[in-house]
Structure 1
Amino acid sequence: MGNFSYKDIYIEDGKRVLEVNILPEKYCNFDCIFCPIGRSYNKVDKPQSFQEMESSLKGLESMIENNKVDLVFINSKGEALVNDKISNIINLIKSKGLPVRLLSNGYLLGRNEYIKIANMCDEIIGEIKAISEEDFQKIQRPIDGYTLEEYISNMILFNKQYEGKFILEVTIIKGYNDTEKSINKIKNIITELSPDKIIAERMNDERFKKKLGISTERLDEISKVLLNII
């Protein structure tokens, strides 16, 4: 029913999590070369209207009521914030007495209209991948005019006023941000951003793992360094 899609309910820290994608296809302000979803043919950072929203909301309500959910995780094909009905979606979830986690790449967290929406959520996940301007433009291919400096600043300023739990997801990419110099830059960003939780991960998609993936041992080394910051 509707355009939303769901992952199977899973348990996280003893809670039943319902993960929902609220975009019918990929809509994003980035076009990362390693995105598992594929190219961004809808490269946008403004609100977008989608069909069947009424039935999609009813479907979400049914999923919540029929699955004894403890938390709803909005994790979409691209940037979920561009769905122009996202406030309605969050309000529906909150009306059921459930917390909301939202994954955003983080760039739009510098705009007032999106700050207001993100502040409705109990948890926000932001992301860091490239840590130089050249690499940011090369591998994340953002909308023209975006800069890495503004990207990081948007998340830092957002978190200073955010009352919920801010989670920073750091993806370590071989040849781009896995050197000691790069890790030190990431450490500085984390110190300034002051997230509540850090998730360090690597490329796991088989299409990119060989060229951009790092070893388990190296990921463990980097994770220990980053997790010790907070």
Structure 2
Amino acid sequence: MPSTLTLNNRTGDLSMKQRILFGPFRSRRLGVSLGVDIIPHKTCTFNCVYCECGSTTNLTLERREYVSLKKITEKLEYYLKKNPSLDHITFSGSGEPTLNSKIDQIIGYIRENFPPYQVAVLTNASLLKEKEVRDSLKRAQVVIPSLNAVSPDIFERINRPHPDITSQQVISGLIKFRREYQGKILLEVFIVPGLNDGERELALLRKAIEKIGPDQVQLGTLYRWGTEDWVEEADLEEMERMAAYLKGRVI
């Protein structure tokens, strides 16, 4: 399979394009957070049906310096030298941050030059199978990976991954990362009603979570518009029931 596939699906809000820093915003799990987007708009390893940023237009596994290290550190220095009141600096945005091959150096720059700030990384965990990627996240204090399904059919229907990514690779990468990483892992499970909320899939998720051993499991659902119109918000009572079963909490 080619490492990059160009898609022509619906794209997200234009206001999200071409920015590096966004916020600060108040996060349900990270407090006051400054967002850092180090990937071009909708460049990702997945094309998730629930993504609030719209469809992936560049489905790829290619790691490179998509946005230059110099440009990112200049933006960070300009903003952070003002000593803003922040709980976290969070790598997230409209694509998969671990695709940027300089993410380790960017995290290192923050840790070395602005040590009061905690660094968090949101990732779909698709590249944690690679040791280089796992190593690149070791200096972050918090990593929030996602695992939405275990069975191949449900995994593919929710995440619509690059053809060379499987659910077992994601799980294996998460297990290895947990063994190597000393920081906090908050594992997110995004519930899509009708797909991963059934008894069979939840049982598979529970078994995988036990093998991974995250510090916390967080269940999320759709709060805004997703990429696909048919994706709906899960019932809160059902979410609480599933969270109890997975030994996690609803966010």
Task: State TM-score, norm by structure 1.
Answer: 0.88
Q: Which residue of structure 1 lines up, in the alignment, with residue 180 of structure 2?
A: 161
Alpha-carbon distance in 1 for matches of 2:184, 2:206: 19
Contact 1:107 1:151 in 2 (8 A): yes
C-alpha distance 50-107 of structure 1, shift in aligned 2 (>3 A): closer
Report the CA distance between 1:155 and its aligned residue: 0.7
User: Once the two structures are superposed, what CA deviation does each residue of 1:95-137 show, in whole Å capped at 9, x if it has no partner?
Assistant: 1113211111012111011011011211111101133101222
Q: Is the 8 A contact 1:48 1:83 kept in 2?
A: yes
Alignment partner of 2:238 out of 218, 222, 229:
218
The alignment's C-alpha RMSD in Å is: 2.4
Q: 2:55 aligns with which of 23, 28, 39?
A: 39
Residue of structure 2 in register with 1:4 after alignment: 20
* Counterpart code for 2:142: E
| In 2, Cα distance between equivalents of 1:92 and 1:181 | 44
Q: CA deviation at 1:210?
A: 5.9
CA distance, structure 1, for counterparts of residue 144 and residue 172 of structure 2: 15
1:87 to 91, 104, 129: 104
SS in structure 2 of the partner of residue 94 of structure 1 = helix
Tell me which of 72, 80, 84 is aligned to 1:64: 80
Query: Per the alignment, do residues 43 and 228 of structure 1 end up closer, same or farther by CA in structure 2, a change over 3 Å counting?
Result: closer
Q: 1:169-220, CA deviations, whole angstroms, 9 ceiling, x for partnerless residues?
A: 0111111111222222211111111100111111222355764332111111
> Cα gap change, 1:111/1:14 in structure 2, threshold over 3 Å: closer, same or farther?
closer
Aligned partners of 1:218 and 1:3: how far apart in 2? 37
Report the Cα distance in structure 2 between the residues aligned to 1:189 and 1:178, rounded to whole angstroms. 15
The count of corresponding residues between Structure 1 and Structure 2 is 228
Query: What secondary structure does 1:8 align onto?
Result: strand
The 1:38/1:15 distance shift into structure 2, 3 A limit, reads closer
- Choose which of 7, 24, 43 in structure 1 pairs with 2:40: 24
Matched residue of 1:110: which SS?
coil
**Greater mean deviation of Cα atoms: 176-185 or 51-60:** 51-60
Residue 65 of structure 1: CA displacement?
Answer: 2.4
Secondary structure of 2:43 counterpart: coil
Cα offset, 1:152, TM superposition: 1.1
Deviation for aligned residue 1:54: 2.2
Paired with 1:135 and 1:14, the residues of 2 have a C-alpha distance of 29
Give the TM-score of the pair, scaled to structure 2. 0.81
- Range with greater deviation from structure 2 (181-190 or 105-114): 181-190
Between Structure 1 and Structure 2, which shows a larger proportion of helix residues? Answer: 1
Distance change in 2, residues 1:209/1:186 (3 Å) = farther
1:200-215 superposed matches below 5 A: 200-207=219-226, 211-215=231-235
CA separation of 1:63 and 1:10: change in aligned 2, threshold 3 A? farther
Gaps of 5+ in 1: none
Q: Which moved more, 1:78-87 or 1:54-63?
A: 54-63
Task: Tell me: higher relative CO, structure 1 or 2? Use CA pairs within 8 A at least 6 residues apart.
Answer: 2
Structure 2 unpaired stretches of 5+: 1-17
Give the distance between the partners of 1:185 and 1:11, measured in 2 at CA.
29
Residue 179 of structure 2 is aligned to residue 173 of structure 1: no
In the alignment, which residue of structure 1 is the partner of 2:15?
A: none
**Kept after mapping to 2: 8 A contact 1:165/1:196:** yes
Amino-acid identity (%): 25
